[in-house]
Amino acid sequence: MKLLEVRNLKKSYKSKEVLNGISFDMDKTETVVVIGPSGTGKSTMLKCINRLVEPDDGQILLNGMDVMKARKIEKIRQRIGMVFQDFNLFNHLTVLDNVRIGPLKVKKLQKNVATELAMENLKKVGLTSEAKSYPSQLSGGQKQRVGIARALAMNPDLILFDEPTSALDPELIAEVLEVMRKLALDGMTMLIVTHEMGFVREIADRVIFMEKGEIVESGTPEKIFNAPEKERTHQFLAQFTKFGREK
Partner 1 sequence: MTHFIEVFFQAFPLLMDGLKFTLELAIISIIFGLGIGMLIGIFRVYGGKFSYTLSTAYVELIRGTPLLVQLFILYFSLPQIGIHLSPFVASVISFSLNSGAYQAEYIRGAIQSVEKGQMKAAFSIGMTKWQSIRLVIMPQALRKVIPSWTNEFVYLIKYTSLAYLVGVPELTAQGEFAASRNFEFMNVFSGVALVYLFVILIVTWLFSNLEKKVKIPGV
For binding to partner 1 (CB under 8 A), which residues are involved? 50, 52, 74-75, 77-78, 80-82, 84, 86-92, 101-102, 105-107, 133-137, 150-151, 154
Q: Are 191 and 159 in contact (CB under 8 A)?
A: yes
Beta-bridge partner residues of 46: none
Nearer to partner 1, 112 or 136 (CB): 136
C-beta of 82: minimal distance to partner 1 in Å? 4
Nearer to partner 1, 89 or 177 (CB): 89
C-beta of 217: minimal distance to partner 1 in Å? 29
By the 10 Å C-beta count (0-12 exposed, 13-18 middle, 19+ buried), 51 is classed as middle
Distance CA 88, CA 18 (A): 24
Nearer to partner 1, 90 or 240 (CB): 90
Calculated CA dihedral for residues 220, 85, 20, 229, nearest 10 degrees: -20
Nearer to partner 1, 74 or 229 (CB): 74
Which residues are CB-contacts of 40 (< 8 A; sequence separation ≥ 6)? Answer: 210, 211, 212, 213
Which residues are CB-contacts of 140 (< 8 A; sequence separation ≥ 6)? Answer: 87, 167, 168, 169, 172
Distance CA 120, CA 149 (A): 9
Which residues are CB-contacts of 94 (< 8 A; sequence separation ≥ 6)? Answer: 131, 132, 133, 134
Nearer to partner 1, 50 or 233 (CB): 50
Using alpha carbons, select from 120, 34, 28 the residue that is nearest to residue 79: 28
C-beta of 180: minimal distance to partner 1 in Å? 17
C-beta of 209: minimal distance to partner 1 in Å? 26
Residue 122 CA from chain centroid, whole number: 18
C-beta of 47: minimal distance to partner 1 in Å? 8
C-beta of 93: minimal distance to partner 1 in Å? 8
Nearer to partner 1, 44 or 50 (CB): 50
